[in-house]
Amino acid sequence: MGIKKVVFLDRDGVINRDSPDYIKSWDEFEFFPGSLEAIGLLTRAGFDIIVITNQSVVNRKMVSVKELEYIFDRMTREVNAAGGRIKDIFFCPHVPQDQCDCRKPRPGLFYQAQQRYGLNLSGAYMVGDSAKDIESALRAGCGHALLVKTGNGAQAESILAQKNILPRRVVEDLYAAARWIVAHDEKHIFPDHP
């Protein structure tokens, strides 16, 4: 399995446009400009991409697991066609009242990925658009939590500031995050890199 470099991505608000009515079908799924290119860039740089996403649409009975998996499959195929690769997708189907361990801001999905692939989370990157994404990544021990301004990013900045939680970086979108991650990784591998 041998994953050495991993980037966790939230889905809605990072890869694709979010909706207050939830994403319930492939017809409602719309990639952000640059997100396919971003995943391609990370893939070419040697990162494994794992999507970590809350999908309460399942327990809200708005989408079946089969329908959700169809959306994931279509998304993955589009990513592959654009030169990227998603290694795996972990999702929480629960609503907040379920008090599960896998719904962000709890870190359960990260631990599931860690267990499946033997990951060192301290070297991992997480890109999210919500306070929950950043909190869950930091609780799981991810070394680098990046907040994008797409989706709920503006609201998340203010929530995180109130909680005195600082993301490693705040960037415009997933493509900007990918460029920063690749540059940071190269500096880390080659410490004398300018």
* CATH H-level, domain 6-189: superfamily: HAD superfamily/HAD-like (3.40.50.1000)
Residue 91's nearest CA partner among 75, 82, 77 is: 75
Q: Which of 12, 18, 48, 133 is catalytic?
A: 12
Cα first-last separation, the chain? 33
CB atoms within 10 A of CB 34: 17
pLDDT values of the chain reduced to their tens digit, one per residue, 194 residues: 456 799 999 999 999 999 999 999 999 999 999 999 999 999 999 999 999 999 999 999 999 999 999 999 999 999 999 999 999 999 999 999 999 999 999 999 999 999 999 999 999 999 999 999 999 999 999 999 999 999 988 899 999 999 999 999 999 999 999 999 999 887 765 554 44
State the alpha helices, DSSP H only, in the chain: 35-44, 65-81, 108-117, 131-140, 153-162, 174-189
Model confidence, pTM: 0.94
Residue ranges per structural domain of the chain: 6-189
Strand partners, 144: 125
Catalytic site includes residue 129: no
**In degrees to the nearest 10, what's the CA dihedral of 113, 162, 23, 109?**
10
Strand partners, 92: 54
Catalytic site includes residue 133: no
